Amino acid sequence: MHVGLATGFAHQRGKDYDDARFVREEVENLVMAEELGFDSVWITEHHFTDYSMSNDPVQLLTYIAARTRHVKLGTQCIIVPWHHPVRLAERIVNLDILSGGRVILGFGGGLAQHEFAGLDVDMNKSRALYNDILEVLIPALETGVIEGEGAFGTIPRSELRPRPIKSFEGRKFCGSLSGNSMYTAARLGCGNMILMLPQRGKDVPPDKYTAVWQEVNGPGTTPPPPMLGGNYYIDESAEYAEAQGRKYLANTMRAAIRNYHLDTPGKFPDIKGYEHYENMVLAPEAIAPYVEEFSKGVVAGTPQMILERMWELKEFYRPQGFFPHVYFGGMPQEEALKNMRLFADKVLPELKSWEAETSIDDRFLEAAE
């Protein structure tokens, strides 16, 4: 079983905690992940707030590539509409070359209005940009030639130089798949990144992606097994783990509500493709109960309890790997390090011994042949 370590660069440590110090600590944590035995590291993309201070995952992963030798380098996620397809393709190819082919691609669509505005991207074009960019980007990463016309403009037939060194087949995923994005992902052969896990004991959302995949690729076909994310807190005391995990996941959701303007009515009805998000906007009195309920989704407990829950998730989703967040929500650095090391020492060895029906690591070996 492939097991990575993900981080959202979630800087909810207060205004007095220096940004530069925080970023350096986050990067050093990911460099340390290789030594601790994790198979990959994953970085998201966000702009302009302390919700997530990771404004260029490809650049950060390029630095980490130079500091490591074996750990895979995942994007969770590159927000597609915020990039020109040629420049994005070139940066991905450079990272794959310099890392010796260690890149795992994850793509997303974006939601925060202030991020679109600050990057001068029309949010009304977001859905079209997502689909059109991926339709030219993914083939270009396979063939080394990029061309096409869409919401991004027109690209005449152009050769990528340097050329891609190997196929991205089996190492490309899309996160938070919904609506038309599922059809684009299925056409391009992408797996699903399940970023948020269901609460234990709650109904698991139905797998809509397999149905879309079969509609696009034919009856009886199946998409690549997913990669599973989620938030985890580990401690030798189950009670302490539960309390701390809920506290920090609550911090994460409060920051998300602010970041995505889910506390401000009237933000979404006039944005093409995002109208339904207005139904998710919370009244002031509904925020605290919602945050409290959401915090129960943390996977928390002793090492054995964590393994038991991850086995349940493995049996249901049949993933090809996990990429847990073991620190989040403004967790102090010393607590983050404690969680990383305890997870690596007490959970990781058994977790990696589990069999996966399909392994992303096998795809890396195939691509290297």
Domain ranges of the chain: 2-237+298-368
Q: What is the mean pLDDT of residues 69-76?
A: 97
Query: What is the model's pTM?
Result: 0.95
Tell me the per-residue pLDDT of 77-122, one tens digit each, with 9 for 90 and over.
999 999 999 999 999 999 999 999 999 999 999 999 999 999 999 9
Question: What is the percent of the chain with per-residue pLDDT over 70, rounded to a whole number?
Answer: 98
Residue 287: predicted pLDDT: 98
- The SS3 call for residue 48 is coil
Q: What are phi and psi of 176, to 5 degrees?
A: 50, 50
- As a whole number of angstroms, the distance between CA 207 and CA 268 comes to 26
Confidence of residue 177 (pLDDT cuts 50, 70, 90): low
Confidence of residue 42 (pLDDT cuts 50, 70, 90): very high
Residue 268: predicted pLDDT: 95
Residue 362: predicted pLDDT: 80
Tell me the per-residue pLDDT of 228-239, one tens digit each, with 9 for 90 and over.
999 999 999 999
On the question of pLDDT at 318 being above 90, the answer is: yes
Tokens matching residue 298: 């943390």
Burial of 307 (0-12, 13-18, 19+ CB in 10 A): middle
CATH fit for domain 2-237+298-368, picks 3.40.50.300, 3.50.50.60, 3.20.20.30, 3.40.50.150: 3.20.20.30
Tell me the per-residue pLDDT of 238-294, one tens digit each, with 9 for 90 and over.
999 999 999 999 999 999 999 999 999 999 999 999 999 999 999 999 999 999 999
